[in-house]
Amino acid sequence: MKTPDIESLQDLVPHVQEHLLPQIHQAAEICMNCYLMDTAFNDMWTFGTQFWRNTWNRFRTIAEEIDECPFEVSGKGNEYKLRLGSYVLRHHRINSQSRLPSGAKSVKSAANHIQMSLFNDEWYAPVEKDNIVIAIDVDVHRGLKEVFLGEIMPLEVDSSKYKWVRKAPIFLVDGAQASTADVIHIADMPGFVPEEEIVEVPVKLDKSRTNLKGLESKGDK
């Protein structure tokens, strides 16, 4: 299909809502059910790791196999990111109180690279926006609460603190308040496995469940 014109974060919103959000809903439902099957031994690390990987497997499959999906897998097979136009997206679960992404080492590195390019007056680079996060607020107790797109940048060169320089809402469960955190600190958190340590496993998606425009949010129940 023809690649849509994407000139801003807001331009990504309808495409994320149509193609990726249904997969996030399904991943949340399935991983919550898996967690509840063995609560004596499952924990938040188990849930977070499974949710992150289940969501990626879905993103990758629809990007590679569904003709109507405008996203494409970007980079090497173990980089876990999608591209649409000049925007590169990674997905991360965020903590409901701190609003921190769980891990986010790669997007942190990308944001630092962009900051250094600007600091060194390299205005010609980079062309692509490689510091975009699909931020997902979900846990086993509350379900899926919020999804938004965020562009992060360091507060200053070599800073360990970051800020959302742009945000665009994707989904918010009825009655919830949107995230208001402007400054975040990205670090290793429970429930995160470094991307380079996750083994690549072939997966097939049930295509009969990929067209879910009428999907009711599980967080509404």
pLDDT at 99: 74
Tokens of 129: 């926006």
- Euclidean distance between the first and the last CA atom of the chain, given in angstroms as a whole number: 36
pLDDT in tens, 30-61: 999 999 999 999 999 999 999 999 999 999 99
What residue type is 133 in one-letter code? Answer: V
Can you tell me the distance from the alpha carbon of 81 to that of 206, in angstroms, rounded to the nearest whole number? 21
pLDDT in tens, 146-169: 999 988 776 666 666 777 788 999
Name the phi and psi angles at 26, rounded to 5: -65, -40
What is this structure's pTM? Answer: 0.76
9's enclosing H/E stretch is: helix 9-15
Q: At what angle do helices 21-36 and 44-65 cross, to 10 degrees?
A: 150
Residue 12 has pLDDT above 90, yes or no: yes
Q: Among 100-109, 127-136, 160-169, which stretch is predicted with the lowest mean pLDDT?
A: 100-109
Q: Among 76-80, 131-135, 169-173, which stretch is predicted with the lowest mean pLDDT?
A: 76-80
